[in-house]
Every structure is written in C-alpha cells, then in structure tokens.
Amino acid sequence: MADFDAIVVGAGCAGSVAAYELASAGKSVLMVERGNYAGAKNMTGGRIYSHSLKKVFPNFEQEAPLERRVVTERVSLMSPDANLTIGFRSDEMLKEGQDSYTVLRGPFDQWLASKAEEAGAEAIYGIAVESLLKDGSGKVTGVRAAEDEISAEVVILCDGVNSLLTAEAVGFKTPEPHTMAVGIKQVIELPSAVVTDRILAVSDDEGAAWLFAGDATHGHIGGGFMYTNRDSISLGIVATISDLMANSSTPIYQMLEDLKRHPSVAPLIRGGKVVEHSGHMVPEGGFDMMPDMVGDGVLLAGESAMMCVNLGYQVRGMDYAIAAGQMAGIEAAKALDNGNTSKAGLMGYQQALEDSFVLKDLRQFRRFPHFMESTSRIFNEYPALARDVMNEMFVCDGTPVKPLRKSVMPLVKQVGLLNIVKDVRGGVSAL
C-alpha cells in the first residue's frame, strides 16, 4: 500500500490544478513544492489567457489575485533610434473565455495551491524532490525528499522548465541551447492610477500587453515584453540562449537596462522603483523538443513537458499548463480507479492531450521555432526598414518631396524584395 494515491511535484499552474482534480475525485494527494510557498520560485512575463482556468474555476474572476484584464495589445518593431508600434483593441478580446489577465506568480500560485488544499490535497513547502523512487521494473513508485522516501501509485511532475527529474522519469535529455530562451524581468512599482494613465486606460482594472522585436535584444533572437500589473509594470526580455551566448557583446541584463532607457519605454516606467529582479527560462523549441509525457507510474505536465508557444505576438504557457494539469489529474484518477498506473494504464492522459488544443497547437506551430531562429531579419533589417519608411512618411524638412514609391523602394531594395517575400511566406506557412 503506497503512502498516497498520487504525488504532485511542483505547485505551479499544472501542479496545483492536477492536485485539485485528484483531490476532488477523492484521491489522497501530496503536493511537494520546493519554494517556501507556491510561486516562491516561479516567474511569468506575464499574462494568462483565461479559457482553461475558467474550465477549472468558473468563478476565478471573483477569487483569483488577478492584476489587470488586458484590453490593449501592442507589438513593436524597435530600432535604437525609433520604434514602430501596432496597437490593437477589440471587443472580442474581452469576451468571457477569450480574455486574458496579467498576473504575478507569487500571489497567483498561492491562490491556485489554496484551491488544491481546500479540495483536500496535502501540501508541503520548502522541500525539493531530490530523486524518484522506482521498483525493480523501472516503474516510478514515489519520491525522495529531504531524506524521506514517500511512495505513491502515480507521480505527476509539474516541476517546471528547469526540471532535474524528467531525465530520470522519462529519459528526457537536457534541452539544447537553441530550444531554450532565457527570460529576465523587473517588476517596477508605480501607483495604480499612474499605470492606468500611462497606458491610456480608463480604470485600474484595465491593462496592456506590449511585445518588442529588434533593439530590445540588440538584434538577437528574442524580444522585449511589458505587462501592466495593478500597481507595477513587468518589463523584461526573452532571448534564445544559443544565439545570445554565441557572440553577443551585450549581456542580457544590460539589454534590459537599455530597454528601460529607450525613448518609447522610459516614459512608461519613469519614477518607478524596481522591487524585484527575476530570471526564468522559456522552452521555445516547440513540439519537437517535448519529452514523453507518460511514463511507467509518472506523468509530466506544464513547462516540465516544455508546453509553451511563443509566436512573437502571442506568448502562451500558463493556459497550456492549466489544461494539461487538469487532464493529468482527471486521467490519473481514472487510472487509479482502474488499479493500473503503468504506462499503458496512464495513456488516457496522452490521448486527452492529443484531442485537446494543447498538442494540436504545439503540432500546428512545430515549424515556427525554426522559422524564428533562421530569420534574423525580423530582429535587425525589418525594424530598420520600418523606421526608414516611417521617417519618409512623417519627417518634414522643407526639401521638395519625392513620390513615396521613389523614396520607399530603395529602402525595400536594401533588404531585398525577394528576402521579404521569402520571409513572409516562411512565416505564414509556419503559422
């Protein structure tokens, strides 16, 4: 007889939801979190798309510590001396189940973990799982933590992007640097009314999301991001590790300081105080880097399974983690009912993922990571081209004007018309 029906490693989006579902199904669950509280070791950009959370907690809007609902999207092509921004807002973005919220993981994860605990899951904090227990056949039978051995019929690994356990669980090899990005973020405190005014919102419940390509990473693969919280701004950079480590003369933390000084960002954070400086990796390799998500006696969900999609204009991870955590919890409970938590007995989880948007999306975008990695013009030539074309349109110095066609075509030719056509086609086919 095992100590628990299930052990969940990690109390993030995937872990707390998996534990919640298992406990709600009447199973005994232990959730082991290495932070002193849920979220203590976690970081997001960040914004969560609400659809999958709503399926688990239909009233989350009233309960969860959300920062602001995103009502404005901005995407920029940034050069050192200019910035072209596309802004978008629409009623569609605001409909229930289609909306998104900025969050901070400290408060958010604590709320999510409390839901699991209220449902009956036991949680221990401040202890990392050091290794997995296995029986003679190699089936995972529990965890070793702080010199204790705790057994369970099934172990669900939700221990994040830097999991040190997935190798043992399913033979996952340490990801290659070109499949991973490093994220850096500062939380910059400002009065909520100031945040509201600076994004031209009408209330402190309304927020903005802003992504930057180009100079934010000094032309390297990646981008900058800005999300408005209730009384702070999350500002950061994500950069692909292989490209950054190979030849950048500017370290990532210097890039962030430079982004803070860029004339299009500086006014937003003026007078703000940095209250936290954080780092977190982002799995960007997509479907082709994902590990097996089912092993003998073990499931993987969330970032430990590399569930993330970064399209440059849309960055998603938490909604996948919540959906996967829910499926892992439900399917593990079924396997427990059937008395079979072998790999074959747990395959309902794989099927559920295949049938859902989680693996459908990751398959759909599987070619996108390669497109981003091989199209450095997005981060260099295109922001410069955008600047030059806009300068032609908006700068007026009294010299006789040329027809736009004559002033713009040479700029386009510098980049190469064929290159542009090729990149647009590449991008469209990878989406």
Partner 1 sequence: MTEFDIRDNIDAFLAANKYEVDEEHAHIELVDEPSDDEFDKLIRVCPGALYKRDETGKRTFDYAGCLECGTCRIACGETIVQRWENPQPSMGVEYRYG
Interaction of residue 180 with partner 1, rule CB under 8 A? yes
Q: Is 419 in the site for partner 1 (CB under 8 A)?
A: no
Residue 341 CB, shortest distance to partner 1, in Å, is 26
| Shortest spacing between CB 348 and partner 1, in angstroms | 31
CA–CA–CA angle 410, 414, 418 (5° rounding): 105
Q: How far is the CB of 55 from partner 1 (least distance, A)?
A: 24
Site for partner 1 contains 184 (CB under 8 A): yes
- Which amino acid would we find at residue 165? L
Closest distance to partner 1 from the beta carbon of 26 (Å): 31
Query: Using the rule CB under 8 A, is 43 a contact of partner 1?
Result: yes
d(CA 204, CA 195): 8
Binding residues for partner 1 restricted to 245-274, rule: CB under 8 A: 245-246, 248-254, 257, 274
Instruction: Please state the closest distance from residue 35 (CB atom) to partner 1, in A.
Output: 7
Structure tokens at 280: 């977190």
Does residue 174 touch partner 1 according to CB under 8 A?
yes
Count interface residues toward partner 1 (CB under 8 A).
Answer: 52
CB 160 within 8 A of CB 304: yes
Residue 398: its H or E element: none
The residue (of 86 and 246) whose beta carbon lies closer to partner 1 is: 246
Which H or E run contains 13? helix 13-24
In our burial notation (b when 16+ CB lie closer than 10 A, e otherwise), range 175-204 reads beebbbbbbbbbbbbbebeebbebbebeeb
Answer yes or no whether residue 146 interacts with partner 1 by CB under 8 A. yes
Residue of 15, 142, 175, 219 that binds partner 1 (CB under 8 A): 175
Return the range that interacts with partner 1 (CB under 8 A); candidates 78-86, 101-109, 284-292, 418-426: 101-109
Could you count the other beta carbons within 10 Å of the beta carbon of residue 269?
22
Q: Which amino acid is at 294?
A: V
Q: Which of 10, 142, 183, 219 binds partner 1 (CB under 8 A)?
A: 183
CA–CA gap between residue 311 and residue 175 (Å, rounded): 20
Q: Does 228 bind partner 1 (CB under 8 A)?
A: no
**Dist. CA 225–CA 185, nearest whole Å:** 9
Q: Would you count residue 114 as binding partner 1 (CB under 8 A)?
A: no
